[in-house]
Structure 1
Amino acid sequence: MTTLTGRTRLAGLLGWPVMHSRSPLMHGHLLKRHGIDGAYVPLPVERDFETAVRGLRAAGFRGANVTKPHKEAAFAICDIVEPSALRAGAVNTLVFDERGITGSNTDGFGFMAGLAEAGVATGGAHVLVLGAGGGARAVCAALLEAGATVTLANRSRDRAERVAAALPGLEVTGWEERARALEGCDLLVNTTSLGMAGSEPLALDLRAAKASLCVADIVYVPLETPLLAQARAASLRTVDGLAMLLHQARPGFKAWFGVDPVIDGELRALVLASLNG
């Protein structure tokens, strides 16, 4: 059990619900590993989000992660919104300091760090991204910033067009054209819920893909989605959603606790065991 002191640095996760989140497990493990006098706690907040945030800041918290359904509300209360959040269209990390409340989005960082860990180059790559939610926007923004050519396909083309309007350089293709758009791509990224536990699988034939294609999925339950299983059967390189989950925690941890944490096999195994349990 963590012993709290008068100097304990506090952060947590704001959302409703938050019981399913692995963030307290991850941050608790990292605090222990790095010997930091700190605590990261689940903060279930259904209503009065602004009141809760301002109360946490007044109580001395260093900040918090924000999850559903409060990511839009988080925008409204920030004194400073960092470019990562503006590009992603959502705030998932709050930092409290003398400047006020700063909001950022670490999903794009986490996704790119996961690719880098797997040795996947993105500069100059041709990428097809599936989906048009918050995860897709963060991923597309990060890929464009890295110099990739990015095409977006979504079941509702209107939503894809809205994402493209916010991200200059992003191309859009029809959902029914996704197989054709995949030809010649270096990277395929699924950001939809298709393939998630309880959802139907993503229908996409990978047989026309280049042998060098890398397939990434931001879904991590199950860890190997039907899309990743198909890619592995075709001897294509894959990156699962757990990499993004682990690495997106780093910027907030560093801001709150002063250390850029080590993301390694031990942490991955810990979180994977909790998913399988």
Structure 2
Amino acid sequence: MPRQPGFGVLTPRGDRLAVWGDPIVHSRSPRVHSAAYGVLALPWEYGRRQVAETDFAAALAGLDGRWRGLSLTYPLKAVAFAASASLDDRARSTGAVNTLLLTDDGPVGFNTDVGGLVAAMNDLGVARVGTARIVGAGATATSALVALAEIGADTVEVVARRPEAVEPLAALGSELGVRVDHASFDAPSGRPADVTIATLPGGADVSDHAASALAGTGGALLDVVYGHWPTTLASAWQAVNAPVASGRGMLLHQAVLQVRIFVSGQVDEPLDREDAVLDAMRAAVMGD
């Protein structure tokens, strides 16, 4: 991953970090990040805070110089994008920020979800694709599209109930050099895909018939859900003995990139003892 241009030397401040979202009580980020900082012997505090979208600007403005950075989850990624004084390329492409580095020059916004998806697909044995499928057309689908473009996808089918929901993805695909087609759950194209990324929330209503149809031509499945497992889609993939992975891998790898940012200010600069950090964070992600 290239060093992002235009940032210069970023000087993070403080020793306080947190994940914000609404809801947030389910988040594994505090224990995942705390595992990393334990290995690195950094006496940082990482907590969680429930912050509604309408309260984000005031909450951010209320942080003092003790604060180093924030992880952002639903529904704060768009407002964090708007609040950023500068952005990395992935955040700029997706319009979504899940990581804010707090500096004296203002918040710097990053999207580590894209890198997390790329690394999770690599773990699944998917390093290069031609055709791909995304199930769902919400905010995570945008990061999925950018991730697929980065590993070579030239055609992506987006399975969504509403064709108009796919239009922004088609526009982004045009910028990325990726053809984006819409398909419905009831009538997927049947075109074989090298990989499918499911971006639906846990508990989403997908019929067994639709899941089976998608699994038959979907290649490997990366389902971003990890709290409601197995999903209907995951069960369909397992039934045909196709490779499948939950969102825990994405969660792990995007968090590693966040730790890099919070430590050095650069997403592409590996950590000291990164292998040991990764092992500790993986144990925290996978543990119940």
| TM-score bin (small chain) | 0.7 to 0.9
CA RMSD of aligned residues (A): 2.5
Equivalence for 1:237: 243
Please point out which of 153, 165, 174 is paired with 1:159: 165
Shift of 1:109: 0.9
Shift of 1:269: 4.3
Equivalence for 1:87: 93
**SS of residue matched to 2:212:** coil
Q: How many residues align?
A: 261
Please point out which of 171, 176, 186 is paired with 2:180: 171
Equivalence for 1:189: 197
Shift of 1:167: 2.9
- Quick one: distance in 1 between partners of 2:59 and 2:197? 35
- Quick one: distance in 1 between partners of 2:282 and 2:231? 17
Checking the alignment, whether the CA contact within 8 Å between 1:18 and 1:42 is kept in structure 2 is yes
Shift of 1:206: 4.4
1:204 aligns with 2:204: no
**SS of residue matched to 1:18:** coil
- Quick one: distance in 2 between partners of 1:216 and 1:142? 12
**SS of residue matched to 1:12:** strand
Equivalence for 1:146: 151
Equivalence for 1:125: 130
Checking the alignment, whether the CA contact within 8 Å between 1:214 and 1:237 is kept in structure 2 is yes
Equivalence for 2:17: 11
Equivalence for 2:84: 78
Which digits, 9 at most, give the CA deviation of each residue in 1:119-147, with x for residues without a partner? 2122x421011111111110111111321
Equivalence for 1:36: 42
Distance 1:175 1:141, change over 3 A: same
Distance 1:238 1:178, change over 3 A: farther
Equivalence for 2:189: 180
Given residue 237 of structure 1, which amino acid in structure 2 is its aligned partner?
P
Equivalence for 1:3: none
1:48 aligns with 2:55: yes
Given residue 39 of structure 1, which amino acid in structure 2 is its aligned partner?
E
Distance 1:35 1:87, change over 3 A: same
Equivalence for 1:4: none
1:219 aligns with 2:225: yes
Q: Which has the higher contact order (CA 8 A, sep 6+)?
A: 2
Distance 1:62 1:265, change over 3 A: closer
Larger deviation, residues 32-41 vs 152-161? 32-41
Using structure 2 for the length normalisation, give the TM-score: 0.81
Checking the alignment, whether the CA contact within 8 Å between 1:153 and 1:178 is kept in structure 2 is no
Checking the alignment, whether the CA contact within 8 Å between 1:10 and 1:63 is kept in structure 2 is yes
Equivalence for 1:273: 287
- Quick one: distance in 1 between partners of 2:247 and 2:171? 26
- Quick one: distance in 2 between partners of 1:72 and 1:128? 24
- Quick one: distance in 1 between partners of 2:179 and 2:108? 27
Larger deviation, residues 264-273 vs 8-17? 264-273
Given residue 191 of structure 1, which amino acid in structure 2 is its aligned partner?
T
Distance 1:80 1:208, change over 3 A: closer
Shift of 1:220: 1.0
Shift of 1:242: 0.9
Shift of 1:43: 2.5
- Quick one: distance in 2 between partners of 1:145 and 1:108? 9
Identity %: 29
Structure 2 residue runs of 5 or longer lacking an equivalent are 1-12, 265-269
